[in-house]
Amino acid sequence: MRGKVVIAGIGHTAYGAHEGRSTVSMHAEAIRNALADAGVEKDSVDGLFVKFPTSRFEFMYGQKVAEAIGVQPRIGGVWDQGGAANIAMISFAAMAIEAGQCEIAVVTFADNPKTGSRAALAKPMSPDEVFGWFGAVGGYAMLARRHMEQWGTTADQLGAVAINARANAVANPRAQLRKPLTLDAYRDSRPIVAPLRRDDCCLVSDGGAAVVLMSAARARTLAVNAPIPILGFGQGQTSWNVEQRPDLTSTCAASAARTAFAMAGLEPADIDVAQLYDCFTIVPIVTLEDYGFCPPGRGGAFVADGGVGLDRPLPINTSGGLMSETGMPGMQLVIEGVRQMRGTAAVQVPGARTCVVSNQGGIMHTHSTLVLGEAQ
Amino acid sequence: MNIDLPAVPLPERDALSAPYWAALDAGRHVYQRCTACAHAWLPARGECPRCLSAHSRWETASGAARLISWVVYHTAFHPAFKERLPYTVAVVELREGPRLITNIIDSDPETLRIDQPLRLVIERESGVAVPRYAVAVPLVSAAVGDVRAVKAFR
């Protein structure tokens, strides 16, 4: 089904803080903007796929969003995969369209961990809280340490990930952090859970974002402007407890990418630009390796030695990513991928015709990969 | 003891994990081994994650382990840990195979190395026995060999 389903519209709220505003309200704004971008009437939406929020527990959340936007979906639901959910839902929505289960699907995200509750990000990892094992940053630090010790990855190479993201965000008016980050400033940032410093950690942000999917044929009928074909997708998942992973330095990103590249009929060398989930600096490094852009253990050098700049083999995180554009868990990367393929990004990679986007959740528990092609 | 300090959160026990904590209280660190396929694991669960058999027994670990990875907390995510900063949390693999989250005690974290040999030290936290690990101190006569073994692992 390579290229048979397209992303026809993208939309989002402002990135940053939305104090006092419900997640459902942010969904509604993001969906309104995505439908307007696609030129699609709300009443034609018959698929609604919603990411589970982290700021509060919700029940029948998909139906709350459906009610707020006044639609009665034929198919949909709420996905619990952490940050991998957005691309995973795009995959399920594309398959649902191809299987005739719906015709026009909305995939939507909204959350408010900045002004609401960020407890999900700092929770104890039971039954191990007696050892002081708390928070997502601790889990990622554990993976980073093993990678540094096993492969010789350095703190400055981690810093290069954050510096690259910031350099792109400086030119992106939508980004939350636009002051350049120097290596000295990175080195001076305080340790949170060593080996990770504050500047190894992404933003925590409020906001919503949504995309509209339909078949490529339907997009032609509706004369959608610049529909972006979905060339491939894939997923991978592993165990709950970090210590139970057979390998701390390689993740299910590898199987997700294999599936997505095979579906797209492409190889890493065919990819012009990548948006790699960067909740912590170690993650793009591991993802570059698992996706096959560089050999295992070489991800740090690949970034630090300039492999990811705009004129380099693989520009990454051209909008600033989670590090600097906004801390939203993943949908902004999909939206930036669409903009790159449309040729409308704030930091545009000239002539880019293929884009890979990674999403991942938990502490690399879940992974999803999306391959996009040029506008049709 | 400062009674104003918040207590460290203690492990939740249930019927499955009760034998684990009871053994620690008696000075033994135990893990589960499947009586059908011989797979060994932690933490406590009702079914073998390899063959799904519901039949397992508790075995006593030797106390020998190796360091898979470690981190140093400079931020307290719970008030009870504020006065312990910085502290080390590690992934440790028992010689028998199971892995667990624990603390590394009595070591400068700067000197730790992955795959380094460790030994069990059972400590009490608000009266509850918990498994922690220290760097295994080799016998003087074996010191050179142990250092080589560590380097070979790296």
Last residue of a domain, one of B43, B60, B77: B60
Check residue B143 and give its pLDDT. Answer: 42
How far is the C-alpha of B81 from the C-alpha of A24, rounded, in Å? 36
Residues B82 and B132 in one domain: yes
Residues B131 and B79 in one domain: yes
- Whether B6 maps to a domain, the answer reads no
Across the interface, do A130 and B11 touch by the CB < 8 Å criterion?
yes
Q: Could you tell me the two tokens for B82?
A: 């504020």
Residues B83 and B136 in one domain: yes
Of A127, A129, A193, the CB nearest to B71: A193
Check residue B148 and give its pLDDT. Answer: 36
Give first-to-last CA distance, chain A, whole Å: 16
Yes or no: say if B112 and B105 are a contact pair by the CB < 8 Å rule: no
Across the interface, do B73 and A138 touch by the CB < 8 Å criterion?
yes
Q: What is the pLDDT of residues A103-157, one digit of tens each?
A: 999 999 999 999 988 777 777 766 789 999 998 999 999 999 999 999 999 999 9
Task: Give the CA distances from residue B54 to residues B20, B48, B49, B50, in Å, rounded to whole numbers and listed in that order.
Answer: 17, 6, 10, 11
Mean pLDDT of B79-87: 95
What predicted TM-score, i.e. pTM, was given to this entire model?
0.93
Yes or no: say if A105 and A49 are a contact pair by the CB < 8 Å rule: yes
Q: Which helix (H) or strand (E) holds A229?
A: strand A228-237
Yes or no: say if B122 and B132 are a contact pair by the CB < 8 Å rule: yes
Q: Could you tell me the two tokens for A202?
A: 């992404």
- Whether B127 maps to a domain, the answer reads yes
Check residue A72 and give its pLDDT. Answer: 96
Taking residue A20's Cβ as centre, other Cβ atoms within 10 Å add up to: 9
Residue for token digits 């997502």? A136
Does B8 touch chain A if contact means CB atoms closer than 8 Å?
yes
Last residue of a domain, one of B60, B81, B99: B60
Across the interface, do B11 and A124 touch by the CB < 8 Å criterion?
no
Does B103 touch chain A if contact means CB atoms closer than 8 Å?
yes
Across the interface, do B91 and A142 touch by the CB < 8 Å criterion?
yes
In chain B, residues with a C-beta closer than 8 Å to the C-beta of A126 are 11-12
Across the interface, do A191 and B109 touch by the CB < 8 Å criterion?
no
How far is the C-alpha of A349 from the C-alpha of A315, rounded, in Å? 8
> How many alpha carbons lie under 13 Å from residue A187 in its C-beta half-sphere?
6
Does B46 touch chain A if contact means CB atoms closer than 8 Å?
no
Does B78 touch chain A if contact means CB atoms closer than 8 Å?
yes
Q: Could you tell me the two tokens for A318?
A: 């051209």
Is the model's pLDDT at B42 over the cut of 60? yes
Check residue A376 and give its pLDDT. Answer: 83
Site from A126, A196, A243 to mutate, B interface, most B CB atoms within 10 angstroms: A243
Check residue A165 and give its pLDDT. Answer: 97
- DSSP class per residue in A176-215: S--S---HHHHHHSPEEEETEEGGGB----BEEEEEEEEE
Beta partners for residue A371, in sequence order = A232, A356
Of B68, B89, B100, the CB nearest to A132: B89
Of A132, A141, A195, the CB nearest to B87: A132
Q: Could you tell me the two tokens for A317?
A: 């995180």
Q: Name every residue in A having a CB less than 8 A away from some CB of B.
A: 122, 124-135, 137-138, 141-143, 145-146, 149-150, 190-196, 241-244, 248
> Which residue, B87, B92, B68, is CA-closest to B77?
B87
In chain B, residues with a C-beta closer than 8 Å to the C-beta of A122 are 77
- Whether B8 maps to a domain, the answer reads no
**A292: CB partners within 8 A, 6+ apart:** A257, A261, A267, A268
Of A133, A192, A195, the CB nearest to B101: A133
How far is the C-alpha of B87 from the C-alpha of B72, rounded, in Å? 5
Residues B42 and B66 in one domain: no
Residues B129 and B145 in one domain: yes
Residues B19 and B51 in one domain: yes
Last residue of a domain, one of B39, B60, B81: B60
Task: Give the CA distances from residue B130 to residues B107, B121, B146, in Å, rounded to whole numbers and listed in that order.
Answer: 18, 9, 27
List the domains of chain A with CATH numbers.
5-116+204-221 (3.40.47.10)
How far is the C-alpha of B21 from the C-alpha of A18, rounded, in Å? 46
Across the interface, do B114 and A149 touch by the CB < 8 Å criterion?
yes
- Domain that residue B88 falls in: 61-154
Residues B95 and B150 in one domain: yes
Residues B93 and B146 in one domain: yes
Number of domains in chain B: 2
Does B12 touch chain A if contact means CB atoms closer than 8 Å?
yes
Check residue A245 and give its pLDDT. Answer: 85
Confidence of residue B144 (pLDDT cuts 50, 70, 90): very low
Q: What is the pLDDT of residues B109-129, one digit of tens each?
A: 999 999 999 999 999 999 999
Walk along chain A (376 residues) and give the pLDDT tens digit of each residue: 999 999 999 999 999 999 999 999 999 999 999 999 999 999 999 999 999 888 888 889 999 999 999 999 999 999 989 999 999 999 999 999 999 999 999 999 999 999 988 777 777 766 789 999 998 999 999 999 999 999 999 999 999 999 999 999 999 999 999 999 999 999 999 999 999 999 999 999 999 999 999 999 999 999 999 999 999 999 999 888 888 888 899 889 999 999 999 999 999 999 999 999 999 999 999 999 999 999 999 999 999 998 898 888 999 999 999 999 999 999 999 999 999 999 999 999 999 999 999 999 988 889 999 999 999 8
Q: Could you tell me the two tokens for B13?
A: 């026990």
CATH code of B123's domain: 2.40.50
Check residue B3 and give its pLDDT. Answer: 57
Across the interface, do A243 and B68 touch by the CB < 8 Å criterion?
yes
How far is the C-alpha of A96 from the C-alpha of A90, rounded, in Å? 10
- Whether B7 maps to a domain, the answer reads no
Residues B28 and B74 in one domain: no
Check residue B4 and give its pLDDT. Answer: 65
How far is the C-alpha of A270 from the C-alpha of A265, rounded, in Å? 10
* Mean pLDDT of all residues belonging to chain B: 88
Across the interface, do A131 and B69 touch by the CB < 8 Å criterion?
no
Yes or no: say if A106 and A48 are a contact pair by the CB < 8 Å rule: yes
How far is the C-alpha of A235 from the C-alpha of A250, rounded, in Å? 15
Residues B50 and B107 in one domain: no
How far is the C-alpha of A5 from the C-alpha of B29, rounded, in Å? 55
Which has the minimum average pLDDT: A277-281, B2-6, B60-64? Answer: B2-6
Across the interface, do B68 and A130 touch by the CB < 8 Å criterion?
no
Count contacts between A and B (CB, < 8 Å).
Answer: 102
Q: Could you tell me the two tokens for A361?
A: 């959740």
